[in-house]
Chains A and B, each alone.
Chain A
């Protein structure tokens, strides 16, 4: 217990030290008040968010702290060049973090049944179809919609309603294909098939689901051929130009990040930091898989497994696109994005993980109680 607390404490102190120094360095160079405020705000959120809302809502501490670290890096990348953009990104991250709370609460109050899963499924499909209905909409709520779809699919599967789960997944896939969002469609399809197999374990039903999903995808590709993109060359050349620890001399002009926050961080701080970011994401995925393994109810296990797959596949897709193995434009890594809807959806997924973690703790507490009664 003491060791556990000491590692948490050391991690928190190191994180605070890193971000305080990283924000103060451009601040003392430019004498910009906004950067001083930003340094204080980021460190304050890193310290207080796990203590106040985290404890009030029993959020999962490792997942929360890892998400906070990744968000803080996404703010840091803007700080030297554009303090206003950094402040805006900080606000986006804070609003995204607040989405963890409804996720965690929803998981605790929800009792899986076909009737209760239906409204969640309808909400997920509606969010997914929003860009089709309103083409002028400037943003997409794909991540949040997939989170809701995963939630309802897990609920259906946990009460042995295979057919509604399969129909729901196919509907989601069809909408994603109609939106020409092939990466998200692939991620959703693989996630559903693996969760379906893990919960149902029926060869017949799993084969049926695989054939249905593959058939839908093939039909879409026949009618709307896929045109590969090749933007990976520039990403690879950017990676090759980065030093291990970034530039040794201060740049003449403060760097302004582009859409890829991960690569912009690499430009500023080098490949070692990128490797560390990747390992932090890996730690988050390990945490979600560990929560899925220790969950006792099928619903919680399926949900945690789905979160692991959604985040893991998104990460894998990014790196495969970045390395040129997939002919797709690399989007953004989970939690290292400037899109508020994506960030909110990913935090919503983390809220589910927090709910599963709290449920696991409650189960262990119940075991202690039962052991006490048995004695």
Chain B
């Protein structure tokens, strides 16, 4: 192995005394630049994904003097709802405790609420306490949450896997044999034929009268039905396939005054100004 002379080694040693700290400083510099650039990249990616992170938003229907109507709060997947700033969801209203309830999103079910001891909320008019089973009262798209003096509606972001309308009753809905009956709810065929009329999305100001569990379902959002799968029909399929759009009926929005569970919004609701920027971006995305 090569060995250098003492004089050469002294020179190398002296150079290294300056070179090593310089390289160490470069390492520190590049490390922080790397971390910073990665943080920027992540921020940029999140900016390109409007609504990234939250599962939806809670829109204020009425909140008294403390909370303006149509204020919206992004809802994270899990967290604490309360009236203090350290909470993930801050509802500064009378009747809301510092840490009122815990919530967590569950795919296929909705937003589960876990009220803390001594706290109560109303989900679609039904009281929920810490003794209630949270799975029985999940918040789904359009559900109304009343907490303290605030009334809020949950708007879920698109494509999240919940099935609010489907309440399976295998004994009643599924026959023991024979063809599968047509679903009661409107069905959107997939793929959609060209030239068919597209059902427009419900604007937020018309959604106020829709109670929690009345949204139309699409087939891929239906959960698997417990029980046996019915056998195929014995006779062959008909030669003429019926027009799938024939079964599509327009979504009817019930009169807000007749809605038993969701409170009617004030007239200021419909005349309220445009909603903030991020929601608009999501709405445009859905519209497209």
User: Are A4 and B159 closer than 8 Å at their CB atoms?
Assistant: no
User: Are A273 and B49 closer than 8 Å at their CB atoms?
Assistant: no
B41 at the interface (CB under 8 A from A): yes
Give the residues in chain B near A326, CB-CB below 8 Å. none
Stretch at the interface among A15-23, A113-121, A208-216: A15-23
User: Are A245 and B27 closer than 8 Å at their CB atoms?
Assistant: no
List the A residue with the shortest CB-CB distance to B98.
Answer: A203
From B20, B39, B51, A273 is in contact (CB under 8 Å) with B20
List the A residue with the shortest CB-CB distance to B14.
Answer: A248
Known: A367-B49, A367-B52. A62 touches B35 (CB 8 A): yes
Give the residues in chain B near A202, CB-CB below 8 Å. 98-99, 116
Shortest beta-carbon contacts, A-B, top 3: A373-B159, A374-B158, A31-B3
List the B residue with the shortest CB-CB distance to A6.
Answer: B37
The secondary-structure label for the interface of chain A is helix
Known: A21-B20, A31-B3, A368-B49. A4 touches B38 (CB 8 A): yes
User: Are B31 and A66 closer than 8 Å at their CB atoms?
Assistant: yes
Stretch at the interface among A176-184, A217-225, A282-290, A308-316: A282-290
User: Are A294 and B42 closer than 8 Å at their CB atoms?
Assistant: yes
User: Are B41 and A283 closer than 8 Å at their CB atoms?
Assistant: no
> 9 A-B contacts, Cβ less than 8 Å apart?
A4-B38, A7-B37, A33-B1, A66-B31, A201-B99, A269-B21, A283-B35, A370-B158, A374-B286
Give the residues in chain B near A248, CB-CB below 8 Å. 14, 17
Give the residues in chain B near A351, CB-CB below 8 Å. none
User: Are B1 and A22 closer than 8 Å at their CB atoms?
Assistant: no
Q: How far is the CB of A61 from chain B (nearest CB, A)?
A: 9
User: Are B28 and A276 closer than 8 Å at their CB atoms?
Assistant: yes
List the A residue with the shortest CB-CB distance to B288.
Answer: A375
Q: Say which size band chain B's interface belongs to.
A: 35 or more
Q: How far is the CB of A164 from chain B (nearest CB, A)?
A: 16
Interface set, chain B 18-33, CB cutoff 8 A to A = 18-21, 23-28, 30-33
Interface set, chain B 176-229, CB cutoff 8 A to A = none
Q: How far is the CB of A359 from chain B (nearest CB, A)?
A: 12
A297 at the interface (CB under 8 A from B): yes
B285 at the interface (CB under 8 A from A): yes
Q: How far is the CB of A276 from chain B (nearest CB, A)?
A: 4
User: Are B34 and A8 closer than 8 Å at their CB atoms?
Assistant: yes
List the B residue with the shortest CB-CB distance to A18.
Answer: B23
Given contact pairs A273-B20, A364-B49, enumerate 13 new A-B contacts (beta carbons under 8 Å): A1-B41, A7-B30, A62-B31, A201-B84, A246-B17, A269-B24, A270-B21, A273-B24, A276-B27, A290-B35, A364-B42, A369-B159, A373-B158
